[in-house]
Structure 1
Amino acid sequence: MTREPRYALLKPHTLRDLMGRTGDGSEISGRALAREVGVPHGTIEGLLNGKTTTQPASVARAICRVIGIDVGCLWAETGRKVPDETAGEASGVTA
């Protein structure tokens, strides 16, 4: 089974700023964003406070859809140049 690509959040403060004025000009709270995206509230809080830095591509895209921006404005696909902090967790390897 192929693992879904992960995206790294480039700037948590930018996500917070964009939540203050979404594509339609409205504001969205972390709880409302989580509900719209279909993730636990803690996922959004972790992104905003920097404790979580990556998400599956589907979550990154959903966040951008809800706030009305292109995915590249906030996220970079993990790979050789953008590390995935969860890579070791999936294989059982720890740093």
Structure 2
Amino acid sequence: MRPQENYMVIISPGLLVQLMERTGDGRSVSVRELADAAGCHPSKIDALRNGRREKSTIDEALAIAKRLGVDLLVLWEHTGRTVPVPAEPPHIAAVPA
């Protein structure tokens, strides 16, 4: 049995877009650059920006916040008892082994 993954939910896709246009150091960051910093595929960053995806692992969320130059909870909220993990659309969900 695999340990339960800790997920973070993005607060606002629009806020992510704004923060990418002007990061903490005043420069913009591209989807590809942010994906490289987070260690994920650029399509995941694009899906977060467009609202097609709402959740990310805590490690990815931390890396994204760090690259954008903001505190984690400016852009993300923890999942748990009060914030449920959103279900992935069927086309994104993993196929069982």
SS of equivalent residue, structure 1 residue 7: strand
Q: TM-score, normalised by structure 2?
A: 0.84
SS of equivalent residue, structure 1 residue 23: coil
Alignment of 1:16-95 (within 5 A): 16-86=17-87
Shift of 1:6: 0.3
- Percent of aligned pairs with the same residue? 36
Q: TM-score, normalised by structure 1?
A: 0.86
Shift of 1:49: 0.7
* Corresponding letter in the other structure for 1:73: V
Match of 2:11 in 1: 10
Q: Kindly report structure 1 stretches of 4+ aligned residues shifted beyond 2 Å.
A: 1-4
Structure showing the higher helix proportion among its residues: 1
CA distance in 2, matches of 1:3, 1:56: 11
Is the 8 Å Cα contact of residues 38 and 61 (structure 2) preserved in structure 1?
Answer: no
CA distance in 2, matches of 1:65, 1:2: 25
Shift of 1:33: 0.7
RMSD of aligned Cα (Å): 1.8
Please list the CA deviations of residues 36-89 of structure 1 after superposition, one character each: whole Å capped at 9, or x if unmatched: 2211001101100111100110000000011110000010111122121248x6
CA distance in 1, matches of 2:37, 2:73: 20
Structure 1: segments with no counterpart, 5+ residues? none
